[in-house]
Chain A
């Protein structure tokens, strides 16, 4: 085994925190994932790439317990599981954003992000009804943390706006905020930059790297824009038709013939 502490972008890459082993998943006749294995190390930014329908989103859904694979095991921070509920994965410290925005449309930006902290908040129903003492203190303390996230993502001006009314790019940002609010140890991002213009993509890349650098959050990212992928990833996994066809450093993957073929066959970006 190579040394646990690799150097990349001048930051420390640690031990393996997530191991995906021989995962197979099918829906009826459709085989979305076949026999996929790979590993994610602490503090890494790992990108999953591949053409549409390759099974990337399904892979994230398996990791956070939303899809239950027919075969294979997931080991996260030493805990091995075959199946688990999504909320249990969340409580293990895995947060995520979605390919199709999944915000709570009827709630404000602030409330959406506050909801991200539900796993950390403790006070019971009675205290909350009275909204005094511990409940009020807790609410205010968490509000303060959430305000920091709001500052970090530069969305102060839309704090009280119902998210349904926000433009697409801002919604994506709020969704990231909601995931960050949980203070996750691993962040799964499903096409966080899809449909964005260059400037928005740059902002989003910056946020992702900042999160990775400042909080040390491990990040698994799905992205189509190869420029971005090569820029920000420490490691890349390539899927095609549910199979893994590449796994390595960005440069290795870029020069891998299978990967080039898969991309030329489907023609992306």
Chain B
């Protein structure tokens, strides 16, 4: 009875163009943000931050990035792991070269560097489409990881390619490095993710977002009505990579604190983020969050259940986990190919009619 659109007449296009036109949605989002800001930091511990919240936030940002490219602009990319690596290594180089630079600036700069690299690897999209392009983006994945492994300039002449995040303070609070408070790390990531998610939402519902979707839905017609394919596709690659780069920056800088290119950024990362996007819902910013939460939580739940609940050996549990992960993904694709965002939508429809079914 409480979730109602009726009675909320929009008297201007301004109101109709608001980000959450329905009041209840607005309250819901404010509620979530309030809890995330005022409650969670007091409950958080190292486990909660490292196992759940930080990966969730970093991946959510990466998923938004990939969703912009794949869900909104229709260009499938399997290079997300490689682009996250660009963000991570940019952060490392910047932090070690300019220790006094504000961390937020560093994160954004890392995103910008990744955006440039993304545009470069997006160039083939002008000539090839669909799965051909998807395979082509693997070139980025393998080349970038190889590059970070091979040239030790990127890790300041280390021998292994491994990078470790130094301690960085902001406004007197330690955010990265050993001993940083989980609540501070969490709030830092939360702030960045919340702000940039909002900006992404704005972009996708404006002219540029519509151009991306037009290219996605029918590229020929899009060009005939005046959309320049070059600009539309490359801007999608740029914005997408910007987000993925920032995600890589948080992933390495705040969450993992140390990373090694072969492992932290391998092709499985690309798949993982793609799963988040698909399970969350292609073409939905909200879905990117839901998908990230799902993929981060699922292995944790499975593992807890098997190792602690059923006393299965850890190695076997790992194998069972991989299997179940595959099964769940297939199951999910069969049940709801439009993702959690669609389920969310349906739930809202139901709620709108409740308690009268028709």
A touches B in complex, CB < 8 A: yes
Chain A's closest residue to B16 (CB) is A143
Tell me if A30 counts as interface (CB < 8 A to partner B). Answer: no
The answer to whether B202 touches A104, judged by C-beta atoms less than 8 angstroms apart, is no
Q: Which interface residue of B17, B211, B214, B216 has the most chain A CB atoms within 10 A?
A: B214
Stretch in A36-44, A69-77, A95-103, A234-242 touching the partner: A95-103
> Which of B14, B222, B235 interacts with A125 by CB under 8 Å?
B235
Question: Total contacts A to B, CB within 8 angstroms?
Answer: 101
Stretch in A3-11, A50-58, A83-91 touching the partner: A83-91
Q: How far is the CA of A96 from the CA of B216 in the complex (A)?
A: 19
Tell me if A135 counts as interface (CB < 8 A to partner B). Answer: yes
- The answer to whether A125 and B203 touch (CB under 8 A), given A66-B224, A179-B225, is yes
> Which of A89, A102, A106, A129 interacts with B221 by CB under 8 Å?
A102
Query: In the complex, what's the smallest C-beta–C-beta distance from B242 to chain A, in angstroms?
Result: 10
The answer to whether B224 touches A125, judged by C-beta atoms less than 8 angstroms apart, is no
> Which of B217, B225, B229 interacts with A178 by CB under 8 Å?
B225
CB-CB under 8 A from B211, the residues of chain A are: 115, 118
- The answer to whether A131 and B220 touch (CB under 8 A), given A106-B213, A125-B235, is no
CB-CB under 8 A from B202, the residues of chain A are: 128-131
Q: How far is the CA of A219 from the CA of B139 in the complex (A)?
A: 48
The answer to whether A118 touches B227, judged by C-beta atoms less than 8 angstroms apart, is yes
Tell me if A246 counts as interface (CB < 8 A to partner B). Answer: no
Q: How far is the CA of A131 from the CA of B235 in the complex (A)?
A: 17
Q: Which interface residue of B200, B214, B225 has the most chain A CB atoms within 10 A?
A: B225
Q: How far is the CA of A86 from the CA of B220 in the complex (A)?
A: 9
> Which of A91, A102, A114, A115 interacts with B220 by CB under 8 Å?
A102
Tell me if A191 counts as interface (CB < 8 A to partner B). Answer: no
Q: How far is the CA of A128 from the CA of B224 in the complex (A)?
A: 24
The answer to whether A116 touches B225, judged by C-beta atoms less than 8 angstroms apart, is yes
**Residues 198 to 241 of chain B near chain A (Cβ within 8 Å):** 199-200, 202-203, 206-208, 210-211, 213-214, 216-218, 220-229, 235, 239
Query: In the complex, what's the smallest C-beta–C-beta distance from B281 to chain A, in angstroms?
Result: 12
Tell me if B13 counts as interface (CB < 8 A to partner A). Answer: yes
Query: In the complex, what's the smallest C-beta–C-beta distance from B228 to chain A, in angstroms?
Result: 5
Chain A's closest residue to B14 (CB) is A140
Selected A-B contacts with CB under 8 Å, 12 pairs: A86-B224, A87-B224, A89-B224, A102-B224, A104-B213, A104-B214, A104-B222, A107-B214, A128-B206, A128-B208, A136-B17, A182-B226
The interface of chain B, by Cβ under 8 A from chain A, is 13-14, 17, 199-200, 202-203, 206-208, 210-211, 213-214, 216-218, 220-229, 235, 239, 283
The interface of chain A, by Cβ under 8 A from chain B, is 64, 66, 85-87, 89-91, 95-96, 98, 102-107, 111, 114-119, 121, 123, 125, 128-131, 135-136, 139-140, 143-144, 147, 178-179, 182
